[in-house]
Amino acid sequence: MIKENLDKINASLANGVRLIAVSKTKPVEDLQEAYDAGQRLFGENKALEMRDKHAVLPEDIEWHFIGHLQTNKIKYIAAYVRMIHSIDSLYLLQAVDKEARKHDRVIDCLLQFHIATEETKFGLNMEEAEALLQSPEYAAMKNVRIVGVMGMATNTDNRDLVRREYHTLHEYRDFLAEKYFKGHDEFKEISMGMTHDYDIAMEEGSTLVRIGSAIFGARDYGTPVNDV
Ligand SMILES: *Cc1c(COP(=O)(O)O)cnc(C)c1O
């Protein structure tokens, strides 16, 4: 089933859009099956779960961290994580920079924006993002590289609202690219789109879609995962 699901999704991807298989809560056997079908980008939202899966799965997997990240857990992923999508404070970015330095690495990061109308979602607003980008602390960082933006739309059937939120995120990316990343072509990513709205996200310019249940099936949150 996983291979069929991946084939179907890959066939529906717009040009230049990369698929992150969101494998949170799923057993390594499922990830291996996706890997054997050719999938290389995987997304997890818990540091310890990512660590455990990374330890037993092939080395050429690109690990994307997509969840809320606590600073004391960065150490479990800093040696290998390919991209952290959820930078929502200068403090967190500083902590990632520090852990990356210990491994002599540069970790790609996305600024997570609060684009949803819901109160509960994490993320920066533009004022906070600009304060971060203008700070001397950010200017001094050598082991992180900001390569774009990420956002989660409101969890709703209102597709117009979702479209507006994704449209806004695209505008944020363009605004920041122009103002802070001139000559830094790597600042181009827009991580947006999940199982139920990635079609809209792609129409609004997504470069990275994060898809879980359409690949692996519904998640069972009744099963405990490692670090909740
Ligand atoms: C779980 C999760 C996804 C994937 O959700 P699906 O609806 O299963 O595709 C995408 N992004 C983030 C941040 C997630 O936590």
Residue 220: the pLDDT is 81
State which ligand 1 atom lies nearest to the alpha carbon of 150: 13
Which fold is adopted by the domain 2-216? Answer: TIM Barrel (3.20.20)
Closest of 56, 12, 13 to residue 35, by C-alpha: 56
pTM: 0.95
Given this model, what pLDDT does residue 121 score? 67
> Which numbered atom of ligand 1 lies nearest the CA of 211?
9
Q: Strands (DSSP E) along 153-206, which ranges?
A: 189-191
What tokens does 131 get?
Answer: 């304060």
Residues 50 and 77: beta-carbon distance below 8 Å: yes
What's the pLDDT at 117? Answer: 87
Contact 109, 96 (CB under 8 A): yes
Q: Which residues line ligand 1 (CB under 6 A)?
A: 22, 24, 45, 66-67, 152, 194-195, 210-214
Give CA angle at 65 (63, 68), nearest 5°.
165
pLDDT band at 172 (very low <50, low <70, confident <90, very high): very high
Spans of all domains in the chain: 2-216
